[in-house]
Structure 1
Amino acid sequence: MSKPRPSAPRSSVRREVKRSINQYGVFPVTVSRVEKLTDSFVRVSLTGRSLLHAAAPISDGTGQVYDAYIKLLIPPAGASGPTMIELDTSWRSRWLAAPESERGYMRTYTVSNSRLVPSVGLDETPLLGMLPAAEADLEPLERELPEGQQPEIDVDFVLHTDSEGKSGPGSAWAEQTRVGQQISLLAPLRGSTLWASYNPGEARSLLLVGDETAAPAILSILRSLPTEATGAVFLEVPGAEDALDRLPEVRRAAQRVPGVRLNVLDRSDQQARGQQLAASLRQVCGVETLEEIAPREEAAPGEIVWHLAENPVDTYVLLAGESSVVKTLRRICVNEAGLPKESISFMGYWKAGQAEG
């Protein structure tokens, strides 16, 4: 599922900002691989020489993406090519004013990984648009790359339907896309920082908790952590068939950081979303509040459930997923476990009953 993060691009406090955070472009890319990871997860790999102009580590292909995200421009039905946006200071209002049947959809997704791959000759299209508008403002591509190589990124999608059995535009696109199909995305330009929300500050321990919609972001963090990191990860997935910890790449990532315990919890039909996460969070925090006297928090319509930690020192907590679940988990951390509010990042990616991706 896509992550409806705040529309204004954000930079992580972890990284040095070399230029304005408004430096971004429209990148045409080609689908290079489609891989069904589990029953509910599919990975789409995207490549293009345009990504050489994207912020590192996308353009360098290092894979150290730390919860980086891009905005995927899903074309409307019948479109013959990738979406084009004429970027200027008023592009967003023009975009929103056009009907979805004409402009398509914009959804936010995690960049799960990045690497360099051989150029395939299918994606010589330059940047479709950028802010600033002058190509001279692009950072020169003066760096050593193997000849004939270009960046490739992975974007992981959660396949899902609403109560009527309909898929959102992002999920539907991921299910039907094929190798060779072109699409475009918004991302920061080289010389800018990646858009990301992960900001552990000087914290010595990590506690990362989320449902399946947060799995791509949290696993990208796990993959990028230094080997000496400590803490715990709790992910709740739809069922036993979605046991992400059985995937070889996830096992390798977890083994590389032995001080961080990875726990993947499968949700049965009888359990409410987030129930296992709440129980696990109470256990790891050493609290025993009974569920019947600690009711589930509900996110109000229009409520933005989103806040980034402010200079965490001891333990950095990241809570992400469905908004009501995130509110409940935050209450456990603050009211029951007594964790400092400034150490907690909480991000409601979506609300139950409202289609997002």
Structure 2
Amino acid sequence: MLDVDIEGRVGGLGLSARFVSKGGVTSLFGQSGAGKTSLTNMIAGLITPTSGRIAVNGTTLFDADKGINLSVQARRVGHVFQDARLFPHMNVKANLTYARWAGHRHGARDFKEVVDLLGLGHLLDRRPETLSGGERQRVAIGRALLSDPRLLIMDEPLANLDQARRNDILPYLDRLCVEAGIPILYVSHSIEEVARLSNTLVILSEGHTPAYGPVADMLARTDLGRATGRHEASAILNGTVTGLDATWDLTLVDIGGAILQIPDMEADPGDIVRLRIRARDVALAVRPPEGLSIRNAFGASILSISEESGPYAEILCSVGDQTIRARITRASVSDLGLEAGKEVTVLVKSVAIDRRQRAPAPRRTRK
């Protein structure tokens, strides 16, 4: 559990943050200048808040009223930055074990376990300059894990990678978030990363945390568009893979009220997957259409319509016990006679669906 309730000031930015996460991955999301790095530095002990409290899994790191302010080392916060910050004169194995050696820590986490988790076995003898950007970041994550942290902070770890390198490392982050066994605070201004990796989403805007909660609930809220970015407004759906259509290379996913057909997806029947569907890629019809190339069309009920001063309206629809979000013009709302409680057909392009993928199988460690 991560419990933060602090106030402070960094330069001209006043910071007031309050959120509670029950564990797993907590994403701290905000635009540039929102105060994300300042907040993580306060949690790590690099900056002292003026008031409040910080606790991780029942251990108090900071409490202004009680005079508690643990040192950076005593807080045991592992930190992964945008740049890997590896020692160029050391090979991968030495970089991995350095933090444990320097901090005189002997954690319970096994070296081989971390190497296998992050797929580093074939890289142990190599120097940082021979690694790709994604490989260097995986080593940096492994080094942080082996330092025996009680909390892992990942401060925009993919920001300096191109899209190809991001795609390489994301499956490893999927595994890390499930298997790390410690709270992770993931800092990002990418909704794609947040939606894919996190359990809890904390919104940070102009130094304040206006909202936090389960990531699916937060992304479904229509009142947070300014903080999250309307262009990336989306819904998170959980589904179960029910089958594969080998003829057309489609994966069938049951979202508890509809079966989606997703192309080119690495999954097996029975796998639990998380899907992100962008509101701008959802269309609505008042009756089932015919003669369309769109494969995913299913019934839903309108929960709410949030009209804005501009040309668009945000619509929430229920599909089973889950919620999907659509962003259409106010003119279409009027022409179709849409209102809360009305039954509609939701249309989603398969290519508009983001999905979690499994990490590649770990390679054997070189002997």
Report the TM-score when normalising by structure 2.
0.26
Give the structure with higher Rg (CA): 2
Greater strand share, 1 or 2? 2
Structure showing greater relative contact order (alpha-carbon pairs closer than 8 Å, 6 or more residues apart)? 1
